[in-house]
Structure formats: C-alpha cells, structure tokens
Amino acid sequence: MAPTIKVGDTIPEATFTYIPYTPELEAKLACGIPTKLNTNSWKGKKIVLFSVPGAFTPTCHANHLPPYIEKYDEFKAKGVDAIAVVAANDAFVLSGWGRFEGVQDKLLMLSDTDAKWSESMGLSVDLSARPGFGTRTARYAMIIDDLVVKYVELEPAPGVTVSGADAVLSKL
C-alpha cells in the first residue's frame, strides 16, 4: 500500500471530532463534550500530524505517542503551530488516552471516524482479521504547512520509524 497523497498536494478537507482539554478532565470531574475541528482551520499554520491504528494499543501507546509529548517544546521551537494525532477511535477513547498519557493541551487527539479521511489519502489499513478492529488509520506522519503536504511517510512495517517524533523533527 502506498499513499495516494504526495508532497506538494493540498490535504483533503475533513471535519474531525475531538474533546478539547480542560482541567476538569484531569480531575475526572467530566468526560468532556465532543466538538468539531475542520482542517480549514489549519490555513496559514504549520501542523504536525501523526496517525496510529488505535489508542492504547502496544506500539501506539508505548512507542509512538510518548515521544511527541516529550519533544513538544522542540516542535514548537521549529515553528509548529499544533501537533495532532489521528485515529479511528471515537473522541471519548482518544480523550481518555490523552488523559492517561498526560497530553493535556499539547496535542489534538482527533477522531477520524471510520478512517475515512486517512482512507481518502491511501493511509488506512484493513485490520478486520482482528475481531473488533475493521478499517483503521495506518501508522503515518505528515507535516502540513498552509494545508499543503511538506512531508508524508507511511510506516513500511510494524514499528515506529518514519512516523516517529525524531523522524518528523528532522524534516522541519
């Protein structure tokens, strides 16, 4: 499988669902209210986006998400306006994962419902052989500047290499 979106392409428009961070979420006093985020809000901004097949899954949980949190300040120092993680999980699961990992307001935890946005760019994976998984977002990363792709890499095998925080930082 190869991505159909390439460097120099404009990203397709999408509306994601997510739960914005509030201190009440940390205190476990609320579950949060899902809201929408449209990719058009990224016009004029530099966005680092990475995708995981699933929240709380071993590689995503242990190796993919944590370095983005740890290196948040390095991304900001390179002019990144926002870091987003995309998964086919619902907004509540992604919010819970973010709270568990201590994301707070550093990353946008975006639900790509049914992996439709990722699929439109050739960046989804069929995991229906695993009960309960179905079509998921593949493991990939993008640098988006003013809605234009500056970097896109799909992991060629299990693990985190070209979509990891260090690989993306090296391309900024």
Question: Tens of pLDDT along 65-116?
Answer: 999 999 999 999 999 999 999 999 999 999 998 988 888 899 999 999 888 9
CB 65 within 8 A of CB 86: no
Is 8 part of any domain? no
- The answer to whether position 127 is within a domain reads yes
Question: Which CATH number do you get for residue 159?
Answer: 3.40.30.10
Count of domains in the chain? 1
> Pick from 105, 89, 121: which is nearest to 3 by CA?
121
What's the mean pLDDT in 159-167? 93
Q: How many helices (H) and strands (E) does the chain have?
A: 7, 9
Answer yes or no: is pLDDT of 35 > 90.
yes
pLDDT of residue 94: 93
| pLDDT confidence of residue 136 | 76
In a domain, 7, yes or no: no
DSSP conformation letters of 102-135: T-TTSEEEEE-GGGHHHHHTT-EEE-TTSTTT-E
Residue 6 domain-assigned? Answer: no
The percentage of the chain sitting over the pLDDT mark of 90, rounded to a whole number, equals 61
Quote the pLDDT of residue 134: 62
Residue 36 lies in a domain: yes
For the chain, report the end-to-end CA distance as a whole number of angstroms.
Answer: 25
- C-beta neighbour count of 77 within 10 angstroms: 11
Question: What tens digit of pLDDT does each residue of 40-64 get?
Answer: 999 999 999 999 988 777 565 567 8
Query: CA 101 to CA 63: how far, in whole Å?
Result: 12
Whether 9 maps to a domain, the answer reads no
Q: Taking a C-beta distance cutoff of 8 angstroms, is the pair 152, 3 a contact? A: yes
> What CA–CA distances, in Å, run from 163 to 20, 27, 63, 102?
24, 32, 11, 21
Phi, psi (degrees; rounded to nearest 5) at 104: 50, -125
Average pLDDT across the chain, whole number: 89
pLDDT attached to residue 91: 94
Q: What percent of the chain has pLDDT over 70?
A: 89
- The pLDDT, as a whole number, for residue 13 is 97
- Highest mean pLDDT (candidates 102-106, 135-139, 162-166): 162-166
Q: Is the pLDDT of residue 158 over 80?
A: yes
Residue 79 lies in a domain: yes
Do residues 141 and 48 make contact, with C-beta atoms less than 8 angstroms apart? yes
pLDDT of 31: 79
Active-site amino acid positions: 60
125 versus 51: the higher-pLDDT residue is: 51
Token code pair at residue 122:
């050739």
- Domain that residue 48 falls in: 15-169
